[in-house]
Structure 1
Amino acid sequence: MQAAGTESEAAIARLFPRLHERPDLYLYAFEPITGTADLIVMDEADYARASFLNPGILTAQTLGARVPLFRVIEAAEAAPRTRPVHFIFHQGHTGSTLLSRLLDATGSTLGLREPWPLLTLAEHHDVLDTPEAVLSPDAYARLRDALLALWSRSFRPGQTAVVKASSHGERIGADLLAAAPDARAVTLHLPPEPYLATTLARANVHADLLGFARERMRRLVAMFGEVSEPLHALSTGELAAMAWLVERASQRAMLDGEALAARVLDLDFETLLAGPEETLARVAAHFELGADAAAVRRAVTGPVMSRYSKAPGQSYSARVRAERLDAARAAHGTEIARGLSWLERMGEKAPLAGRIASAFF
C-alpha cells in the first residue's frame, strides 16, 4: 500500500463522503488500541479477483490511507442499513471460496472473501466481559454494527453482499446473525474423514494447525471442558480433528439456536460437488438473490467449476480433488485414524461432542 501521500489522500478524501453507500473504499484493517483504520480503494474487479481480503491484496499501486477509527464508525452510521449482508461460514477447506465465486458468477452478489476485520472483531469478542477486554460491550456492539453496515454495501441495485468468513471467524457467527436480523447464512462442512484427508494433504499442515491450535483449544475447553490431552501431546491428525470439532460446534451454535436456525442453511460440500446447479439454486433462493435458473446454469457451466477457486489461474475439478483425497488417504492413513479415534474419545468424555460427531458416523 502506498504511504499516505497526495494521490492516496486525494482518493480517500474524494470517496469518503460516500463511504456508507458504496464499497469503493474498503476497510482493510482496524485497530481499536490505537484508534486507527486503514482504508484502501477497490473497484468491483478488485473484489472479484481477491480470494482473500487480507495483506495479499496490497500492491505498490494500492491507494490507501490511515484515518481515525471513529470517523469510519460515524460514517457507517450516517445512514440506516437498508440492504442485507449474508454470510458463508465453513470449517475450512470445504468449498467456501468455490461457493462464493459461483454466487458472484450469477451476477447477483458482491463476494467479500475473508475480510481481515472480521478476525480482529472475533478476537475482541473472545475477551468481552473479561479483564483483558479493550472494548466495552457497548463499544464492541457499535463497532460490529458499523462493520455490518460497511459489508452490506454494493456497487449497484440488485447486488447483494455475501461475506465468506474465514473458518476462525465463524466463531462469532451467531453474534453477527443476532445483530443483523435480515442476514442469512450457509454453514459449509464435511464429514470428519474427508475433512481430515483434505486437511492433511496440504503442505506444512502441522505448523499451520499448530498456529491456530491455542485459540481452538481455548474454544474446546469453553465448549466441552478439559477433555483433551494438551497440545504438545496431539499428533497432526488429532490437531486436524480438533479443528473439525471446534468449527462444527460453532456451526451447531447457529443451527441449534431457536432464533437463528431458520436463517441458516446447512450444506455438505459433497452435495455441492454432486449437484452444483441444484445446490447453487438452493443457496441463491435461501439468500433471496433473485437469480433465475439461467443465471445459475451459466454460473455452474462457466469457468468457475473448472478452476481452483483460491487461485483461478490453476485448473481444478471434482476428479482432481478425488484423486488428491485418495492420495492423502494412502499417505496419511495413520494420522486420519488417529484423528477419528480422538473424536471418539471426545465423544465419550463430553456428550455434546458426541452428539456433534455422531451425526457423521
Structure 2
Amino acid sequence: MERAALESISSDAQAFLQQLDLIGRRALFVRVTRDELARASFLDERLGLQGREGFWLSFRQIDEIASMLPANAPLPDFIFHIGHCGSTLLSRLLDQVPNVLGLREPLPLRDLASIGRELDSPLSRMDSTHWHSLIATSLRLWSRPFAPSQHTLLKATSTCNNLIAPILQAEPGIRAVLLYLRLEPYLATMLKGSGLDALQAAPGRLQFLHEFLDDTAIRLHELEPSEMIAMGWIAELARFQQLLARSSSSHRLLLLDFEHLLADIPTMLGGVLRHFGLPINAGAGNPDARQSILKAYAKNPAHAYSAEDRNHDLNLSRRSHAAGISRAMRWAGSVTQRYEQLSALRPLLG
C-alpha cells in the first residue's frame, strides 16, 4: 500500500482497528460509521464482519501510520472493571453526553493484554518495545475523531486490567474509572450465569495475586469454582488498590462501586463526568434517554431489564447458590485476614 493510502487511513475515523493477527504480524481494519460504533455493545467478533469492507495492514505499515498521526492526537479515557459489574451500562449512560463516543471492548485490547502477560517469556511473540508502541498506536487510532471536540471513552474487557499500569505510565493524560462490585453481589451475579469467563481468567489473575503477595501458596487446582471466582475478585481489587496507592497515578483513577452508582445515578455520574473533565451540566443527556437505558439490558438494549429485574435475579441466585456463595465468602475472608497486603479489601467483602 502506497504512502498516500496510509496517510488517508491515518485520518479516517471510519477505518476501525478491529483485529490483530499476531502470527501474521498484521492487523485488520474494517469500515464502520459512528452510529454503528455507538450502538455496538461489543467491538469484537460480534461487530459483524460479513459483507463489511475491510483490509489488512502489516505491523510495519501500522508503525508508518503511527508516524503520520499528529503529535497532539487525542487519547481516550477508560472504563476498567472486574466483569459483570455494570460497565456497559455506565458506558451507555456516558454516551448520552454530547461529543462522547463510547467504544466497548475492542478485540485487539484482549490480544495486547494477553501478550503483556507473556512479555517476560522467551515464547512471547512480541518484545516489550513493540508491545508498548502498538498499545500507543492503537489508542490513537481508536480515538481519531468523527467530529471536532470528540471525547472517546474506551471500555476494556475485564481481562485487560494488566494494561492499566503501562497505559497510565506511558500516557500521562489518560484517566480511568475502576468499576467493581462488592464480593457478595459479585458472586451472586457470576453464579447466576455460568461464571465461565471468570473461571477462564482465573490463571492470569492468580499469577498477578502470587506476584502481589510474593507468595504462591494459593493453588488453582485446590479451589472450588466459587472460590476461583472469589480469588479473581481479590486479585483484581488488589490490583486496583495497588494502582490507587501510587501517588503518580492515584489522581487519575476513580474507584466506583456499581451499586453506589445505581443508588444515586445523578450524583455518582456527576462525579464520573468531573473525573473525565466532561461538562457536569450536560448530566447524562436527555432524561428520557437515560431512563430508556436504565430499563434495558445494557449488553442487548432490545431486551428489557430494570433494576427490579436485577434485584430479583440476584436474590434468586443467592438462594440457588447459597452453599457456593457461603464457601467463597469464607475462603475470601480467610485469605484477606491471612495477608496484611489485602487488608483494604476486608470492608468490601459483604
TM-score by length of 2: 0.92
Is 1:323 aligned with 2:309?
A: no
| Unmatched 5+ stretches in structure 2 | none
Whether contact under 8 Å (1:227, 1:346) holds in the other structure is no
Q: Are 1:348 and 2:350 an aligned pair? A: no
How far does residue 86 in structure 1 lie from its aligned partner after superposition? 0.1
Residue 119 (structure 1) shift: 1.3
Q: Secondary structure at the match of 1:19?
A: helix
* Residues 1:171 and 2:162 aligned together: yes
Matched, 1:24 2:14: yes
- Do structure 1's residue 251 and structure 2's residue 228 form an aligned pair? no
Aligned to 2:183: 192
Task: Give secondary structure in 1 for the equivalent of 2:24.
Answer: coil
CA distance in 2, matches of 1:249, 1:283: 22
Change (3 A) 1:32 1:101: same
Select the residue among 114, 124, 130 that pairs with 2:121: 130
**Residue 290 in 1 paired to residue 246 in 2?**
no
Provide the secondary structure at the position in 2 that maps to 1:154: coil
Secondary structure of 1:87's counterpart equals strand
| Residue in 2 that maps onto 1:69 | 59
Read off the aligned partner of 2:178 and give its amino acid letter: T
Pick from 93, 99, 102 the counterpart of residue 90 of structure 2.
99
* Alpha-carbon spacing, 1:100–1:152, altered in 2? closer, same or farther (3 Å): same
1:214 to 196, 199, 203: 203
Q: Quick check: 1:310 aligned with 2:305?
A: no
Does 144-153 or 334-343 show the bigger shift? 144-153
Q: CA deviation at 1:179?
A: 1.2
Change (3 A) 1:28 1:299: farther
- Between the aligned residues of both structures, percent identity stands at 32
From the superposition, tell whether residues 46 and 293 of structure 1 become closer, same or farther in structure 2 (CA, over 3 Å). Answer: closer
- CA RMSD across the alignment: 2.2
- Is the CA contact 1:89–1:186 (under 8 Å) kept in the aligned structure 2? yes
The secondary structure found in structure 2 opposite 1:169 is helix
Q: Is the contact between residue 98 and residue 285 of structure 2 (CA under 8 Å) also seen in structure 1?
A: no
Determine whether 1:148 maps to 2:130: no
**Letter of the 2:328 counterpart:** G
1:116 aligns with 2:111: no
Question: Residue type of the partner of 1:216?
Answer: R
* Code of the aligned partner of 1:184: R
1:298 deviates by: 2.9
Query: What CA distance in whole angstroms lies between the structure 2 residues aligned with 1:231 and 1:340?
Result: 17
CA spacing shift, 1:281–1:209, aligned 2, 3 Å: closer
Cα separation, 2, equivalents of 1:105 and 1:169: 25
Alignment of 1:232 with 2:236, yes or no, is no
* Alpha-carbon distance between aligned partners in 1 of 2:4 and 2:323, rounded to the nearest angstrom: 58
Q: Which amino acid aligns with 1:189?
A: Y
Q: 1:197–1:325: 8 Å Cα contact kept in structure 2?
A: yes
Count of aligned pairs between the two proteins: 348
Conserved? CA contact 2:78–2:155, under 8 Å: yes
Distance 1:348 1:17 in 2: 56
Distance 1:193 1:343 in 2: 10
Q: What is the match of residue 130 of structure 2?
A: 139
Contiguous gaps of at least 5 residues in structure 1:
1-8
AA at the equivalent of 1:278: T
Change (3 A) 1:261 1:223: same
Q: Could you list the per-position Cα deviations for residues 224-266 of structure 1 after superposition, in whole angstroms to 9, with x for gaps in the alignment?
A: 22132x3333222101101211121222232111101001111
Distance 1:292 1:67 in 2: 42
**Residues 40 and 63 in structure 1, CA contact (< 8 A), matched pair in contact too:** yes
Q: How far apart, in 2, do the equivalents of 1:96 and 1:263 lie?
A: 18
Between 126-135 and 34-43, the greater mean CA deviation after superposition = 126-135
Structure 1 residue matching 2:321: 3-state secondary structure:
helix
